[in-house]
Amino acid sequence: MTKNCQTTGILLLLVSIFGFFSCSSDDALSEEPSLIIKFKFDANQLRLNNIGQPSIIPDGNAAQSPDMKKISAHYLELAPSATTLLGQGKILYHAPETNLGGSMAIDFSQALVVGADEVFLKIPITPEMIGSYEWIRVSLAYQSGVIQVFQDGVTYAGTLDSFVGYNTFIGTHSIGNNLFPVNGNRTQGYWAFALNDFPFATSGQAPEGATTVPNPLFQTSPIPQGSCVVTGKFANNFIITGNETRDIVMTLSLSINNSFEWTEVNNDGKFEPAIGENVVDMGLRGLIPSFVN
């Protein structure tokens, strides 16, 4: 009698275990495949200018490749061809905007901010996305990285926050324990800086139109002045068939090759703001998209 009870108990346990795995497997199969988008930063990627051509640092300026930590974008669009105008491709994402600061602006309080290789977006693949795409456009909004500052013979590390979107409404943002109460709109080129190990912080505005925004399609598909819509071409067309059974992971590689640029007073290649060396460009220097499915 005891043996029969034990046998029955074992059978019930096995049924419950296999039933659990069966349900779990069914749930996994029922999940819709998604497009997963990530960013990465590459200091060795080509340094491009506004029209997508290799760029050198102009005389009188110097530059460095920041140790980029964070990035945010407020608009992503797939473009079937080189003649697809901005806004006429497949729009994947458009971040929240607000008019609290007067004119319409990116709402920084709702921005998605991620580090390298972190998931920025996970978008279910739908029939509306079916198509073949040659290009992707990414409107960058914010970046944060570590740069080197030189003063009185000593090199210091500091964090630079750059707001490169067309217009951004910022309440109060912070770098470490340093608070920057803005409470208004800031156009492309607003920046804030704080030393990592010393109590010093400051902020400013780069000149209008100085931020580099590489667009190899400038002749056939221009972008508005003051936006930060960086354009990149897939090595092979990105195709969505509608028959996908698993996730597609897309990586957007951004060039940080000497992307932080300033005017020189001492021609030593070191950023010395204390002697009047000013930031002129914080724009990322190119976009190479790739995908795995």
In this prediction, residues 220-225 reach a mean pLDDT of 93
Strand partners, 203: 192
- Residue 21, by phi and psi: left (phi above 0), alpha (psi -120 to 50) or beta? alpha
- Express each pLDDT in 81-114 by its tens digit: 999 999 999 999 999 999 999 999 999 999 999 9
- Name residue, tokens 């140790």: 67
pLDDT at 67: 97
- Express each pLDDT in 131-143 by its tens digit: 999 999 999 999 9
What is the rounded CA–CA span in Å between residue 268 and residue 289?
35
Q: Which two tokens stand for residue 90?
A: 């497949």
Check: pTM over 0.85? Answer yes or no. yes
What is the rounded CA–CA span in Å between residue 112 and residue 276?
34
Residue 54: CB atoms within 10 A of its CB come to 10
Which amino acid type is present at position 165?
G
Q: Could you tell me the CA-to-CA distances from 2 to 13, 33, 44, 105 in Å, in that order?
A: 17, 50, 72, 75
CB 125 within 8 A of CB 34: yes
What is the rounded CA–CA span in Å between residue 149 and residue 201?
12
